Amino acid sequence: MKTGEVRLWKLTRRYVREAMLRGDIKGAILPTGSTEQHNEHLEMEHDTVSALHMSHQAALELYPQVVVAPPMSVGISEHWMEFPGTLSLRPDTFVTVAYDICESLQRHGIEHILIVNGHAGNRPLNEHMADFQKRLGIDVQFCSYWEAYSKEFVAEQLDSGDCPAHAAEFETAIAMAAFPENIHWEGVDYEGANLKIQREGYADRDPIYFRDGRDLATPKKGRVMADVAISWVAEKMKAMLDN
């Protein structure tokens, strides 16, 4: 794997200026995530840090051609607002912020932008890609990183066969492999919490997801899933650059 700094917020203006003049930087990845409940054991930043992890590692594979923009850490999460701590943007606000970031990159000469998403609630952004491309005159694409997996691959790797689910086997395994410090089992008493979940259709799934995360997730599964997603994102970004 190549090494080098690809995170835009860690670079100096001199580095970016000189790299752009040399033609080294040709594309950018914009991670999108959320700050929202992830059951009793995962930190609320999970979607953001998972999208950032896939984006960062993929950009390193393409160094120095690709930089990673600061992640959008608040997403469209109205459906989780019954859980304290969740933050949400209105869909039109989320789309506007994403557009403004893409426009900033375009104004500096970036012609290929891949939005790498880590939160299912943000997927409506994909409907705006044609408009982004038309208005900006550059190549802008959207993907959720779990699109890397076929149904057959998920069934082979995950005992639950459920991906991405929500803070269940898949997301817990990703955290175990990439950022285990974000998992907190100590003091968790799911049954004792006496949760009264109001979201229709989710109350029955929440305890299942908790048990799947606790009983089925392993670091090995997380590493396999993350490696596939990283390679897939890198290949997708490379195809954009090549075209």
Q: Tens digits of per-residue pLDDT, 72-128?
A: 999 999 999 999 999 999 999 999 999 999 999 999 999 999 999 999 999 999 999
Question: Which of 119, 49, 45, 80 minimizes the C-alpha distance to 206?
Answer: 80
Residue 2, pLDDT above cutoff 70: no
* Count of beta carbons in the 10 Å neighbourhood of residue 90: 10
What confidence category does residue 129 fall into, taking pLDDT thresholds of 50, 70 and 90?
A: very high
User: Which architecture does CATH list for 8-242?
Assistant: 3-Layer(aba) Sandwich (3.40)
Residue 243 to residue 240: CA distance in whole angstroms: 5
pLDDT at site 243? 87
Peptide bond into 164 cis (omega under 30): yes
CB 141 within 8 A of CB 189: no
| Exposure string for 160-173, b = 16+ CB within 10 A, e = fewer | bebbbbbbbbbbbb
pLDDT recorded at residue 5: 98
Closest CA to 10 of 69, 59, 60, 72: 69
Look up residue 180 and give its two tokens.
Answer: 């285990």
Round to whole Å and give the CA distance between 169 and 41.
12
Please answer whether residues 40 and 91 qualify as being in contact, where contact means their C-beta atoms are separated by less than 8 angstroms.
no
- Note the pLDDT of residue 3: 77
Distance between CA 214 and CA 212 in Å, rounded?
5
| Max Cα–Cα distance, the chain, nearest Å | 60
Q: Count of CB atoms within 10 A of residue 189's CB? A: 8
Sign of CA dihedral 201, 151, 160, 184: negative
Mean pLDDT, residues 196-215: 96
